Amino acid sequence: MASSRFAAGAKQRLMQEMQQLEKEKWVNIDLHNGNIFRWRIGLIVVNPGSAYNGGYFRAEMTFTEEYPFQPPTFRFLVPIYHPNIYPDGKLCISILHSPGEDETSGEHATERWTPLQGVESVLRSILLLLDDPEINSPANVDASVMYRDDRDAYNKKAKEIVKKSKNDIPEGFEMPTSLEPPPPPKPADDDAAFWAESDEELDFGGSDTGDDEEMAEFDENGEEDGSDDDDA
């Protein structure tokens, strides 16, 4: 009975997380044979400063019925040359390690998996790791040495991997070029009309010496209140 309750809870949590992630541009999710415990993922790097920018990296995440009390596993399906990625595509990353302190590795519980984590936090951590590898405890020693001693050669190898990864982009899938769409353009005369109206009809009162300061405060707090920011 307890096992069934755990499984139902895990399924519900995973469905909610998948629905939320489907709104994001930087990840493409499909279920392997419709199995909610086995995700096929396209992890997309949208960062102009990254050596892996433009990459579409296929990966697999698997979950147990104990999720979210136990972490998922993650594996890249196509090899990526990186200090913290093993040749079989598995990752060396703290967030995927079981909860609790680990005296052997020196990892604190706050660095490891907790039920407060989720798929999105794992994927974002992986994207950060791609650009900021931990070279002191490498899974791929050669990649770690190259990253440390010959960054140009490392970046060139990363670009070659990105180029190959583009062959894995699903047909009809539109790759994002940025994480945040630009805001819609305002009509050309909006600002002019606003200030014309303000000059004629608005009276802010106060002394002449305070007009500029008050107007600047109004502009900062009033005109921009309607804008929306999209989360990356």
Is 175 considered catalytic here?
no
Same domain as 206, residue 142: no
Of 144 and 223, the structure prediction assigns the larger pLDDT to 144
Q: Count how many domains the chain has.
A: 2
Task: Categorize the per-residue pLDDT at 191 as very low, low, confident or very high, splitting at 50, 70 and 90.
Answer: very low
Of 5 and 38, the structure prediction assigns the larger pLDDT to 38
Same domain as 217, residue 108: no
Q: How far is CA 177 from CA 22, 98, 133, 140, 173, in A?
A: 17, 35, 24, 30, 13
Q: Is 65 exposed, middle or buried (0-12, 13-18, 19+ CB in 10 A)?
A: middle
Q: What order do you get walking across the sheet with 35-44 strand by strand?
A: 27-32, 35-44, 56-62, 73-76
Same domain as 161, residue 59: yes
pLDDT, residue 6, reads 77
Question: Does 218 score more than 50 pLDDT?
Answer: no
Same domain as 201, residue 159: no
Give the structural domain span for 49: 2-168
Same domain as 163, residue 122: yes
Give domain status of residue 76, yes or no.
Answer: yes
| Helices then strands, each counted (H, E), the chain | 6, 4
Average pLDDT in the 6-28 region? Answer: 94
Give domain status of residue 229, yes or no.
Answer: no
Give domain status of residue 106, yes or no.
Answer: yes
Give domain status of residue 182, yes or no.
Answer: no
Computed over every residue of the chain, the mean pLDDT equals 80
pLDDT, residue 137, reads 85
Give domain status of residue 230, yes or no.
Answer: no
pLDDT, residue 84, reads 96
pTM of this prediction exceeds 0.75: no
Q: What is the rounded CA–CA span in Å between residue 18 and residue 229?
A: 22
pLDDT, residue 1, reads 44
CATH label of the domain that carries residue 136: 3.10.110.10
- Within a 10 A sphere around the Cβ of 39, how many other Cβ atoms? 23
Same domain as 212, residue 153: no
Same domain as 53, residue 16: yes
Give domain status of residue 181, yes or no.
Answer: no
Eight-class DSSP state of 67: T
Average pLDDT in the 198-205 region? Answer: 45
Same domain as 203, residue 162: no
In this predicted model, what pLDDT tens digit does every residue of 75-131 receive, in sequence order?
999 989 999 999 999 998 989 987 655 655 555 566 689 988 999 999 999 999 999
Same domain as 114, residue 16: yes
Same domain as 62, residue 105: yes
pLDDT, residue 185, reads 52
pLDDT, residue 37, reads 97
Give domain status of residue 207, yes or no.
Answer: yes
In this predicted model, what pLDDT tens digit does every residue of 117-137 receive, in sequence order?
999 999 999 999 999 999 988
Same domain as 12, residue 115: yes
Question: Does 199 score more than 60 pLDDT?
Answer: no
11-20, 125-134, 175-184, 217-226: the lowest-pLDDT one: 217-226
Out of 51, 61, 92, 127, which one is annotated catalytic?
92
Give domain status of residue 231, yes or no.
Answer: no
Task: Categorize the per-residue pLDDT at 180 as very low, low, confident or very high, splitting at 50, 70 and 90.
Answer: low
Of 202 and 76, the structure prediction assigns the larger pLDDT to 76
Same domain as 60, residue 145: yes
